[in-house]
Chain A
Amino acid sequence: MTSMNVVVCVKQIPDPAGVMKLDPGTHNLVREGKLILDDSDTYGVEMGLQLAEQAGGGEVTLVSMAPNSETSGLRQALAMGAVKAILVSDPSLAGSDALGTAKVLAAAIKRAEPDLVLTATESTDGYTGTIPVQIAELLGMPSVTFSKKVTVAGDKLTVERQTEEGYDEVEVPLPAVISVTAGVVEPRYPSFKGIMAAKGKPVDELTVADLGLDAGSVGAAGAGQEVTAVTPAEARKAGEIVVDEGEGFQQVVAYLERIKVI
């Protein structure tokens, strides 16, 4: 390939370092305040930039679905080098399940006519891990999930896919959807120039109607599952804590003896 247009799905999420909570009424994750780029998606962005460079042409377009026209996370990925973004933001999308989200993302991705779609293996806040494959099915594309190495070979990709016992080498024709694991590449830090440039890069904001989707099939209205209860789990009690002053190992030996492991 002499040119490769890549779409990278990037999720904008509440800061995982903060306190995560559910809305007591709707049981949706509270997504107020500033959202940030899901760290898991920085690997896809980096991978997309590298593959476009290797192909000798093409560009990286971001696709994100987020509430309240949120762009903070998109700006971060644009600063890394993506050229533009498609953002789907619509109040009717609150409470979407994974399939609803995949329908929205697939419709947005289609507009960019990509040769390759990259996602993370799973998002930090939702972690269903099914959205990448749902997108692939909706777009009629093959997919390889859990990819830990991706190389371009003509109009095909060669992918090392994680397995229970090691990895499989998988060949897949393009266009395809690939979900990458953390650690697949080393994400670059945005440069000062990149950060400045990102401010002027185009973000195309769309609604559900713009995408031609039926509002009843996405968001809470289209969600085919519901939360019935949220309760505190039985807490595991903390035990004995000892500060090691050279004898700490003996406590471990004694404990292992007590539980008859040795």
Chain B
Amino acid sequence: MALNTIWVVVDRTGDKVASVAFELLTKARQLAGSVEAITWGDASGIADQIGAYGASALHTTGDLGGALPGPAVAGAIAAQISGGRAPDAIFLAQSYNGRDIAGRLSARIDKPALTNIVGLAEGDGGLVSEHAIFGGTEILNAKFNGSGPGIYVIRAKSFGPEESGGGAASVDTWDVPDLGAVGGAKIVSSHVEETSGPKLDEAAVVVSGGRGLGDADSYKLIEDLAKLLKGAPGASRAIVDAGWVPYSHQVGQTGKTVKPTVYIACGISGATQHMVGMKSAKNIIAINKDQEAPIFSIADLGIVGDVKKVLPALIEALQKRG
């Protein structure tokens, strides 16, 4: 193995560990002899799960008193590094908190971050990262050229999670240095949007709607079809920006990455930023009235037609099957 130690930042919502953390821990274990995890808040409640994916230790900054995690977690990691305890690499998720921590840490330790990583391999005497560019039509490889730990910001679903059978990770607390003004952002309240059915990034079937639906009310067709197929409804950014559906529905570069058994794109043109989030689906079905729409270039089945006609007919046919 080319690397001795990798630190993985474990993103979480309350006590729920983000699934991408397990993907990163699994990959880290394949690349390095020793894997340690870093989180914030209570650590004892998740030490079993983190250990089960191969981390020997779980370090926490402790309770953040409502502060956004970025400055505190980056500060704690930077303090360890300047104290002489540097790993070979640090893995973070390309998520809201992951990007915040990576950006802060990068400026603090004066090292760049490689972002939007979809693959990693040993090579060139270190790690070589893989990035999907131009809507995934080309793969770019990159590496760090300086010394010191590289900061790797990795997209969800890039690696499969696999348990290692390890026992609970040992837990300890890392000191957070005095943050001064930079630690000033505080969460005053959290709002959870209600969802039913499977989660978008875990569903076997995803039915997504775009601007071709014409109006917000027609999104019901997407929800109905998703429900009939026991799937999750998704969306292009165009209709999220328009306020038709909440952001949590967005598939693509800035939204969720999905890899379902089948992805059904309805009234979506297939912009590069949308395609990077769904082109790894096993099967892709597209319904679009424009035969030239880019989405057809990656669809296994393309229906050139009006979503307002095809979807009601499809829903009715599926309802009849019961």
A interface residues (Cβ-Cβ under 8 A, vs B): 20, 22, 27, 97-100, 102, 121-122, 127-134, 136-138, 140-146, 148, 158, 161-173, 176, 181-183, 223-233, 235-236, 238-244, 246, 248-253, 255-256, 259, 261-262
Contact = CB atoms under 8 A, between A and B. Distances in A.
Contacts of B13: 163-165
A29 to B, nearest CB: 9
Interface in B199-256: 204-205, 229, 237, 240-243, 246-248, 253-254
Contacts of A141: 181-182
8 contacts: A122-B253, A129-B99, A130-B103, A133-B102, A163-B13, A231-B141, A232-B137, A233-B138
Given A165-B13, A261-B229, A140 B193 contact: no
B165 interface: no
B310 A244 contact: yes
B84 interface: no
Contacts of B189: 168-169
Among B184, B261, B283, max chain A CB count under 10 A is at B184
B153 interface: yes
B187 to A, nearest CB: 5
B240 A183 contact: yes
A228 B143 contact: yes
B185 A172 contact: yes
Given A129-B103, A134-B103, A252-B303, 6 more contacts: A140-B182, A142-B71, A163-B96, A229-B140, A235-B137, A240-B301
A19 to B, nearest CB: 9
A224 B96 contact: no
Contact of B142 (A20, A136, A227): A227
A262 B321 contact: yes
A256 B260 CA distance: 13
B183 A142 contact: yes
Nearest to B71: A142
Interface of B: 13, 18, 68, 70-71, 74, 94-96, 99-100, 102-104, 106-108, 110-116, 124, 128, 132-134, 136-146, 153, 180-193, 204-205, 229, 237, 240-243, 246-248, 253-254, 261-262, 264, 279, 282-285, 287, 291, 296-306, 309-310, 313-314, 317-318, 321
B254 A122 contact: yes
Contact of A142 (B182, B253, B297): B182
Q: Is the interface of B mostly helix, strand, loop or mixed?
A: mixed
Contacts of B229: 256, 261-262
Contact of B185 (A142, A164, A223, A244): A142
B302 A130 contact: no
Contact of A171 (B102, B185, B283, B310): B185
Contact of A162 (B110, B181, B247): B247
Contact of B186 (A132, A170, A240, A262): A170
A102 B115 CA distance: 15
A127 B253 contact: yes
A249 B192 CA distance: 35
Given A99-B107, A167-B191, A145 B96 contact: yes
Nearest to A250: B317
Contact of A224 (B139, B144, B183): B144
B113 A130 contact: yes
